[in-house]
Structure 1
């Protein structure tokens, strides 16, 4: 039965073998709140949709069964009661019966991750920002932000994104233990103390000494920007 409801990455395809099933789906769709969609530039690439969970697969199958339908006095499907009953049915379902849904969801998740990676690698950062602007949704970095940043740092020829002059200076102070933070402070107090002390020392450097950090940053940033333009996804 799972094959009858297997969603595609770009939508949900349902095979409806009986007239009663078709009626169920029409009523199910009619009970949903219609949301006004934004007009999106058709030339923009469309990100793959998130895959359904094991429960979502179960619910779609559950609602197709006419014996699970609960209707209001006007004859319309009462989705609130159906959803409540479906949730209880899922909770009571033994693990062995949930396994097919889990396996299907896992398979769809892998397909989605592969398709999403292909989408991400095939778009520029400007295109992704435009997609986010017109959809109002933030695009997630494949594999998570930390994993993505790590993969970028390991790419061939990456000179590394440089720290700003002030941050490079404060890092130098920390590495050389020049902040002399009192040991009786709480972590938050120590952080605030270090920030204040670093700011004071930065000001005391004077413009000429600060210029050394600024020149170093400018040179490193130029190398970073030169390499960055060779990476389509940055």
Structure 2
């Protein structure tokens, strides 16, 4: 393996790890900035290599051609680092959920145990490396002979299958929660004060609708002000 692909793999793993840390720390915008910064570094390096190759071969590089080279380098870098980071997050989140289900603990998340965090990180980093390598070889203009452009993308296809599977499971879980909350509030529409009865009725309708669209926020961010004027 050439020196730069090794650095590319290291950059992919570091970026994915930092994005995961930023996401768990409640700062997703920081993760987006990290991916953008890493992609800019990779794009600049790819652009310089392509420009040096064209210069060595005696090819003219007009301003328009250089702009096209930069756009291609940016798209390639964003695809590689974005894909590897996504793979890392999918595996890490999936393993955390699996750990919570298999090693269930009372009032505590098993996924927060250092050993489970380490296992999830190692598996996620391994798949992120495979995805970054597959995308790098597939998108390279001078990819090694014998590598088919699409069959080499099996790690990307694997991440897609896992993402769809775990995403569907998450939607089912959120929808079930909404139905349970709707049933809970519907059963209490006749209890409490007049304001309580109206609020339970509204929440029952809210969660009933939320069960049909679990990909959106399922909990109300605020209570409508009209309930403040209802006498108790």
Ranked by relative contact order (alpha carbons within 8 Å, sequence separation 6 or more), the top structure is: 1
TM-score of the alignment, normalized to the shorter chain, above 0.5? no
Normalised TM-score (structure 1): 0.31
Normalised TM-score (structure 2): 0.31
